């Protein structure tokens, strides 16, 4: 009987526990965003966008492509690409700053730095929201918008770029 109890105890200890999903934190999303900005490749960020922001970007890109085809000798409104930061200049530094949490929303400060021109430093703000996922028990943080240091934001710019 003693051997049975020991064997049962060893089986329980050796049995893998159920893995629990770990949600990516707002700060980690900010880190992914910064790595993507510095690498000039936003593909990793695309999977972290809300469905609505993804659709707004796709619509703006489609409109931009149509304008480019109609006027191939002119620079289209999004000729420099999607404006992922307030100013188009390449920043040598990108760091996650403060993170503010409020219920199902978060704001992540993204600080851009220019070591040779510190007066040009600026901070944009990722606006995140918790989004329910169909096959998961917990919602996940997703980028809903990007607030610029200029007080404007990505969604507004995607619309205003085609206002004329």
Pairwise CA distance, residues 1 & 41, whole Å: 62
**Overall domain count for the chain:** 1
Residue 17 lies in a domain: no
Q: Pick the residue with more confidence: 137 or 41?
A: 41
State pLDDT tens for residues 107-126. 999 999 999 999 999 999 99
CB-based contacts of 110, cutoff 8 Å, min separation 6: 30, 33, 34, 37, 85, 94, 95, 96, 97, 123, 124, 125, 126
Residue 19 lies in a domain: no
Residue 40 lies in a domain: yes
Residue 121 lies in a domain: yes
Residue 53 lies in a domain: yes
Asked if pLDDT for residue 9 goes beyond 50, the answer is no
Asked if pLDDT for residue 6 goes beyond 60, the answer is no
Give the CATH number for residue 136.
3.10.450.50
DSSP assignment of 17-80 equals PPP---PPPHHHHHHHHHHHHHHT--HHHHTTB-HHHHHHHHHHHHHHHHHHHH-TTS--TTTT
Name the nearest CA neighbour of 57 among 163, 164, 157, 131: 157
Residue 11 lies in a domain: no
Residue 81 lies in a domain: yes
State pLDDT tens for residues 24-53. 999 999 999 999 999 999 999 999 999 999
pTM of the model: 0.84
Domain coverage including residue 36? 24-160
């Amino acid at each position: 009987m003693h051997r049975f109890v020991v064997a049962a105890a060893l089986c329980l200890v050796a049995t893998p526990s159920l893995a629990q999903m770990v949600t990516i934190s707002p700060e980690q999303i900010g880190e992914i965003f910064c790595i993507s900005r510095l690498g000039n490749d936003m593909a990793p960020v695309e999977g972290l966008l809300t469905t609505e922001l993804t659709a707004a970007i796709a619509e703006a890109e489609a409109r931009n492509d149509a304008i480019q085809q109609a006027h191939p000798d002119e620079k289209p409104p999004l000729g420099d690409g999607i404006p992922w930061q307030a100013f188009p200049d390449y920043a040598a530094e990108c760091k996650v700053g403060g993170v503010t949490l409020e219920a199902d929303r978060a704001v992540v400060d993204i600080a851009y730095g220019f070591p040779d021109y510190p007066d040009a430093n600026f901070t944009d703000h990722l606006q995140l929201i918790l989004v329910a996922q169909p096959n998961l028990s917990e919602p996940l943080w997703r980028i809903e918008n990007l607030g610029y240091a200029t007080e404007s934001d990505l969604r507004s710019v995607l619309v205003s770029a085609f206002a004329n």
